[in-house]
Amino acid sequence: MITDNIAKHNSSISKSMQNIFSDREASIYRIMEYQVGLRDELGESTFGIENNRIWKLGILALLISESASNSLEFDVSNSVSLELLKLFTEVHIDIGEGVQYRNNRPTLWALHGPAQAINVGDGLHAMARLALVNSTSASSKENLYERLKFLENSSLLLCEGIHEELSSLEKIDFFVNDYFIMVQKKIASLFECAFQLALCGTDILRQHATIITSLAQNIAYASQITSDINSIWPASNTLDHNSLDLLNKKKTFPIVMAFSESDVSQKRELANLFYQRVISEEDVEKITDLLTSLDIKNKSQKYINEYFDLIIDGFSQLGLSLSVESDLLAFIKYICLDPQ
């Protein structure tokens, strides 16, 4: 659920995104603006981007700051930096996986070609760093080195996670534990960075780093498994990258779990379909039917529910209780439980 306060934070991040590009005249920044959502396919400016894009990482960082009463750190530059880093990774993932649509729009490389997209993606990484460096917040200046270190550690882990996911495409022996290690690096690193930037300079971060790492991982597990379920059993018909997961032979959680929990004959049937040189649309239907017969969707959902309970417990250990009416609880549910 998107509450009024969450919508306010989303709008604040969107406006800050507009501001960091407004004074830059080179044409590369117009292409960056397309990736951010500030322009359409024709290069025309778009307004009200807060209505069609939810800045999940950025909002999470602001809500964590609020819950910790870390008023000095209500700095939207943290949120902008996180979101630009995520956009950087999306550009490269789209190129590597041949994704032509994301968020119901053509991807950057599909519009401008791989070479331009690679350059623009690297530019977004630089802009993510500059968002922190150019912050006018006094407290941000004091902790600038530490913030940059958090951001770059997250960036490097992201690259490791993407590498492991790409490598898994060629592996037959990719198990549930391998899946979680990949998610830790590719997804949890961003959530952990959101906590680190939001709580930078506080006792909570200094005293509970291990709990924060675990909490970020559990959020990542729940949200990624939800996304993986939606890639096979979509809640709605969209021209999104998720629809390509089976065609691209990605080791999503339902696939990994099916190989882990099925008997020998079921494994053989799934392998014959999944490890073909080329998977057709007809094969996708057969794989989906097989997963459904194995009750993989419900079994995967049980993992999500278990991780969500651990998330609630983790916030309690940090002293950031999630009351029923809290915006943070509403947004954690949105991240972890809603197929987007």
Lowest mean pLDDT among 5-9, 47-51, 144-148, 324-328: 47-51
Nearest-angstrom CA–CA distance, 296 and 71: 44
How does pLDDT run across 171-225, given as a tens digit for each residue?
888 899 999 999 999 999 999 999 999 998 888 999 999 999 999 999 999 999 9
Nearest-angstrom CA–CA distance, 109 and 98: 9
**What are the C-alpha distances in Å from 188 to residues 57, 180, 213, 222?**
11, 10, 8, 10
Residue 241 confidence (pLDDT) above 60? no
Q: Are residues 318 and 211 in contact, defined by beta-carbon separation less than 8 angstroms?
A: yes
Domains of the chain (ranges plus CATH)? 4-337 (1.10.600.10)
Lowest mean pLDDT among 111-125, 229-243, 280-294: 229-243
Residue (of 75, 5, 7, 84) closest to 38 by Cα position: 84
Give the per-residue pLDDT at 312: 92
Q: Are residues 62 and 76 in contact, defined by beta-carbon separation less than 8 angstroms?
A: yes
How does pLDDT run across 252-311, given as a tens digit for each residue?
999 999 999 899 999 999 999 999 888 888 999 999 999 999 999 999 999 999 999 999
Residue (of 86, 88, 110) closest to 98 by Cα position: 110
Provide the Cα torsion 39, 76, 160, 88; round to 10°. Answer: 10
How does pLDDT run across 11-70, given as a tens digit for each residue?
899 999 999 998 899 999 999 999 998 888 888 887 654 456 899 999 999 999 888 875
Nearest-angstrom CA–CA distance, 258 and 299: 10
